[in-house]
Amino acid sequence: MQSKNLKNIIVVDDDRSIRVVISTALTRAGYNVKSSGTAAGMRRLVESDFADILITDVGLPDGDALDVLPKLQHMKPKLKIIVMSARTTLLTAVRAKKKGAFEYLPKPFDLDELLNLVSNTFSEHNNIEIKDKITLPKNIYDLGPVVGKSMAMQEIYKLISRLVNTNLNLLILGESGTGKKLIAKSIHDLSSINNKLFLNLSMDVFNDYSLDNLLQNIQKNHNKDTQSFACLNACSILIRNVSESSLQQQKNLLDFIEEDFSPYLEKTNDFIKPRIIALTKKNIFNEVEKGLFREDLFYRLNVVPIKIPSLKDRFEDISDLTISFLNRYSSEKNIHRFITHEGINLLKEHSWPGNIRELKNVIERICLLSSSEEIQTSLIKEVISEDRLFIDETEEDNLEIYFKKYLSKYFINFDENLNIDNLHSSFISKIEKPLIESTLKLFRGNQIKASKCLGFNRNTLRTKINNYGIEVIKKRKL
């Protein structure tokens, strides 16, 4: 038996080439490595008290490795487990964490990333507490509703896996149509308290705040029996468009977050305060700096921020999302449709300003309009260009006319009694930010040329870049 003073690692993967590559890299880094290609071999190596760390794939020829992890953890409580998987789904990340994994690593990965993770794992001295309180059906999130294999979504999955069984307040940021509500609901559904209420509220329920009023609003909006304050025990409260609110609404929400429920509860000591999951399309920190959002509320909500990438930042997921929407349409309508590789490439080339919601709508439209199982690329081109045709060419050329029509729609539901004293700044920012972003892109991130083109000095440009949170990407001209 090898000395336990050495840093010993077990590598398990049914692909021999992967085992060899990982084992070789770890051996060269100074670790003592043994490997296996099966779940049975993995168990024998763990029973031999060989390893400090186990690195295992999920899918093994004689079983699912995640089903074995709790037994291994019980057998060797100090064993730290790194799960790697090509099944890059939300459920895999969450299941791995619930089964006692120290870390989840989606394939493909860089060997340096694995070596750094192993090094960090050895420096982590805290034992892992096994939390396998609930059993998740293996097919809930394998194919949806949260879809994506891109690196951007993998980071989201890993973060969610750490959050599902906490009660921390969350702030989910992302453009309209990126799936913020879906992520919030997934966090609730995958938690160990998914039998509790999931309430979807707007900031309007905090117009005139008291617990009684809030419960009445919840009952009205959700048709739930919420006469007892105990219904709020461990529930999740999603709050839409939290940044689109008045300062009074923000104060009332803060009062609710800081509410002491104990006087209202009878004979219960296990009350868990509701978790707040706030959604926003805006950079709230910028709103705080402008005085439009309370700083104290921002820090109460921003305990764990989750930034949902736009579709243009995860275009690798367009294929999987398209297949998911096609399958959903086929299931609901009992009509089979498919898109060729050429059609998928066409969808990838589109800019998708409406994000996932726009893609979903386009897929539904082309399925409806297609007269054959194979959706023609000509139909895809026609449908994705339709939205642009709704804007009259004269309006596109005349920004003033277009903006006047936009303002007319905006003021339809405008409340002149609200305390709004910076309307000018609000609308200028909507125009100025994309103008600066587009100009920087035109000059490939060169701020000197961009500032000259925009008509102000470089220091002013830098200030505006910081205020708007603009990412400057420098590209060399080929």
pLDDT at 356 > cutoff 60: yes
Last residue of a domain, one of 98, 123, 148: 123
Between 451 and 192, name the one with better pLDDT. Answer: 451
**C-alpha neighbours within 13 Å on the C-beta side of residue 171:** 18
pTM for the structure as a whole: 0.61
pLDDT confidence band for 1 (50 / 70 / 90): very low
Distances (CA, A) of 38 to 9, 13, 43, 64, 375: 16, 7, 9, 10, 43
Q: How far is 474 from 445, CA to CA, in rounded Å?
A: 4
pLDDT of residue 359: 93
Q: Which two tokens stand for residue 320?
A: 């999987």
Structural domain of residue 428, as residue ranges?
Answer: 420-468
378 lies in a domain?
Answer: yes
131 lies in a domain?
Answer: no
Last residue of a domain, one of 123, 153, 179: 123
Q: Are 174 and 307 in contact, with CB atoms under 8 Å apart?
A: yes
pLDDT of residue 38: 92
Q: How far is 432 from 449, CA to CA, in rounded Å?
A: 17
pLDDT of residue 131: 38
pLDDT of residue 130: 34
pLDDT of residue 265: 65
What percent of the chain is helix, strand and coil (3-state, nearest 5)? 50, 10, 40
pLDDT of residue 293: 94
- pLDDT per residue over 235-279, tens digit each? 899 999 999 999 999 999 999 998 877 766 665 567 788 999 999
Q: How far is 464 from 458, CA to CA, in rounded Å?
A: 10
- How confident is the prediction for the chain on average, in pLDDT? 81
Q: Where are the alpha helices (DSSP H) in 258-294?
A: 284-289
- When mean pLDDT is compared across 99-103, 136-140, 351-355, the lowest value belongs to 136-140
> 12-19, long-range: CB within 8 Å, 24+ apart, which pairs?
12/36, 12/37, 12/38, 12/39, 12/41, 12/42, 12/54, 12/55, 12/56, 12/57, 12/60, 12/65, 13/37, 13/56, 13/57, 13/84, 14/38, 14/57, 14/59, 14/60, 14/61, 15/57, 18/57
pLDDT at 470 > cutoff 60: yes
pLDDT at 137 > cutoff 60: no
- pLDDT per residue over 38-86, tens digit each? 999 999 999 888 788 999 988 899 888 888 888 888 888 888 888 888 7
Q: Are 290 and 247 in contact, with CB atoms under 8 Å apart?
A: no
Last residue of a domain, one of 123, 154, 178: 123
227 lies in a domain?
Answer: yes
Between 99 and 115, name the one with better pLDDT. Answer: 115
Pair 297, 329 in one domain: no
Pair 278, 328 in one domain: no
pLDDT at 125 > cutoff 50: no
Percent of the chain topping pLDDT 70: 82
Q: How far is 15 from 86, CA to CA, in rounded Å?
A: 12
248 lies in a domain?
Answer: yes
Number of helices and strands (H, E) in the chain? 21, 14
Q: Which two tokens stand for residue 346?
A: 């066409």
Distances (CA, A) of 401 to 190, 249, 396, 407: 48, 34, 9, 10
CATH number of the structural domain spanning residue 458: 1.10.10.60
Instruction: Give the number of domains in the chain.
Output: 4
